[in-house]
Amino acid sequence: MSRRRRKNVMTRFATSATLCLLSMALLSGCFSLGRASVPPVTRYRLAYPAPTPRGTPIPANVQVLPLRSAAMYDRVDVVYREGAHRVETYNYRRWGAQPARMVRDLIERDLVAAEVAQAVVGGPSLAADYVLDGVVEEFEERVDDGCSAHVRIRFVIARSAAAGRGAPPLQRVYEADEVCLDDGGDDLASAMSRAVASISEKLRADLVDFADDDLSGSPR
């Protein structure tokens, strides 16, 4: 190969290598810019003030069982619904834990803070006189007409198996809607918290009524 031809080959090789490196650098820059432009994931929790003591506790122990959840809401993604059938989730909004677990923790906390019973027992326990069992049926933002937080939970209040026979179980569906002041994640979490607080208050009242009726008719 002549010296001139060898020089041309080397020049073309150097040019190709330079273009290749430049392309890689540009692609890398694009990917870096793409990563930098992705919004961070924000996580939210339910929070509201604990209730004040109600007075004389019922002379019984209460257990809050782990809540189950409808499949659509058994996730940490924030779910929103538009219309009867369209359901979506936000890309960058998450709950700090699954809604059913957060709700259960707050229900138990509220029972303790309100001093509804002589004790609130956790986990499988033979010391429980009454149990609360529930299913989170809906836990979503509704966007048909602005922003509103919607919560629907079905609870069963029953005498525990260890406590023996008593009043028939009471099943109630608790539903609450709270309007968001804006469509931001913080305000949605605040509205959801108010909805859960409302349900918790009604559940406590029903538990007291159920226990009072049961205990008044109990032979003990």
Nearest one of 148, 110, 99 to 132, comparing CA atoms: 110
DSSP codes, 100-153 = HHHHHHHHHHHHHHTT-EEEEE-SS-TT-SEEEEEEEEEEEEE-TTS-EEEEEE
**Which tokens belong to 113?**
């803070």
Q: How far is CA 192 from CA 74, 79, 119, 166, 175, in A?
A: 16, 12, 28, 35, 12
**Which tokens belong to 37?**
């432009």
Distance of CA 133 to the CA centre of its chain: 17
Cβ neighbours of 163 (radius 10 Å): 19
**Which tokens belong to 131?**
């149990």
| 3-class DSSP state of 67 | coil
pLDDT digits (tens, 9 = 90+) for 35-49: 557 889 999 999 999
Phi and psi at 4, nearest 5°, equal -65, -40
Decide: 195 and 176 in contact? Cβ < 8 Å.
yes
pLDDT in the model for residue 218: 53
pLDDT in the model for residue 111: 97
What's the chain's average pLDDT? 85
pLDDT digits (tens, 9 = 90+) for 144-161: 888 999 999 999 999 988
pLDDT in tens, the chain (220 residues): 544 444 443 445 444 544 444 455 444 544 444 455 788 999 999 999 999 998 899 999 999 999 999 999 999 999 999 988 999 999 999 999 999 999 999 999 999 999 999 999 876 667 899 999 999 999 999 998 889 999 999 999 999 887 777 789 999 999 999 999 877 899 999 999 999 999 999 999 999 999 999 998 754 4
CA atoms within 13 A on the CB side of 173: 5
Rounded distance, CA 86 to CA 67, Å? 25
Nearest one of 48, 42, 43 to 192, comparing CA atoms: 48
Rounded distance, CA 78 to CA 181, Å? 17
